[in-house]
Amino acid sequence: MSFITEIIGWYRQNKRDLPWRNTSDPYIIWLSEIILQQTRVEQGMPYFHRFAERFPTVSDFAGANEEEILKLWQGLGYYSRGRNMHHTAQLVMEQHAGYFPRKYDELIKLKGVGEYTAAAISSFSSNEAKAVVDGNVFRLLSRYFGIHEPINSSKAKKIFTDLANELIDKDQPGLSNQALMEFGSLQCRPKNPLCESCVLRLSCEAFMKGLTATLPKKLKKQPAKNRFFNYVIAAKNNQILFNKRGPNDIWQNLYEFPLIESEKALTSLELLRSSEFQKLFGKNAIVRYEYGPVKHVLSHQRIQAKYIFIENFKDYYSEQKAWFYTDIEELDKFPSPKIIFAFLKNFHTLFT
């Protein structure tokens, strides 16, 4: 029995009942694929249902405003995905008369749709014979065939995609791709793979040679950048100062408290004595209390945040055009990064 036949047989017995597997609608499949990028199924499932219910068609998605999309996306991370999806939905309305493309050659032209996503949508919606190679498939193929090329190297993408294209059943490519991805996710797991119950174990290079713990290989990433955020919480007359982040940095167009970023961790006194703080809030401000530091890890950044509640401050920050006062009760309505909305959820009592 061939490699792909074994995996399809396993899939028929063990597959999860996931909502996007019960449709050939390319729009719904697109929603699921983008939401699940760099996201576990368990984490992404509530977001998928939220978006599919609020935006049942691509027309609904295109007609939304970006702030609403980012609010629904809140907590999922990689917010550029949500912004790119909005742009793509509008492009589909303009260039495809509201019909979401099904073919790879059309899909690949859409913003935020790379080779993997285009292959997935075309394969699952129209059974186009394109291999879908995600992290699960990389891992499975690396172990089974004993491929030592680091999966994040420049060569790996072509090596594994070519191999996957050779392996899929051309008569049922959508099923083949789903089976490969599911097998990698549930059976050939990153840690503690279920080798003893694996239908492929007697022909798997990694299992036979004791390499399951060392394959797949990865090149080391660049060290993460350390950043130090000092959030200033300035409230008066039951209103609080808030800021909309600009472009060219993380969390574009999301909302947060006024931020003073420093090159190192600062004490509250050091922050109050800094020229930047005094230019914005005056020399007579005092600290009511502080919270933190809180650590927040992104793919290439490690953020350490403190939250400084101040009193007796002056409004010297008129040049900060993105800053504005809002009612404390309205804070939850603004899309915010996790480092802000998690803080708000736990510490709303401090504002009352």
CB–CB of 140/184 below 8 Å? Answer: yes
What are the distances in angstroms from CA 205 to CA 194, 209, 233?
15, 6, 57
Could you read off the pLDDT tens digit of each residue along the chain, which spans 352 residues? 689 999 999 999 999 999 999 999 999 999 999 999 988 999 999 999 999 999 999 999 999 999 999 999 999 989 999 999 999 999 999 999 999 999 999 999 998 899 999 999 999 999 999 999 999 999 999 999 999 999 999 899 999 999 999 999 999 999 999 999 999 999 999 999 999 999 999 999 999 999 999 999 999 888 899 999 999 999 988 899 999 999 989 999 999 999 999 999 999 999 999 999 999 999 999 999 999 999 999 989 999 999 999 999 998 887 788 999 999 889 999 999 999 999 998 766 665 5
For the segment 223-257, what is each residue's pLDDT rounded down to a tens digit?
Answer: 899 999 999 999 988 899 999 999 989 999 999 99
Beta bridge partners of residue 309, listed in sequence order = 233, 289
DSSP one-letter code for 152: T
- By the 10 Å C-beta count (0-12 exposed, 13-18 middle, 19+ buried), 321 is classed as exposed
- Say what the pLDDT of residue 350 is: 60
- Residues with Cβ within 8 Å of 249's Cβ and at least 6 positions away in sequence, in order, are none
Residues carrying an active site annotation: 33
> Domains of the chain (ranges plus CATH)?
3-209 (1.10.340.30), 225-351 (3.90.79.10)
Alpha-carbon distance of 86 to 94, in angstroms, equals 13
Specify whether the CB–CB gap between 92 and 110 falls below 8 A: yes
d(CA 72, CA 56): 14
Residue type (1 letter), 135: G
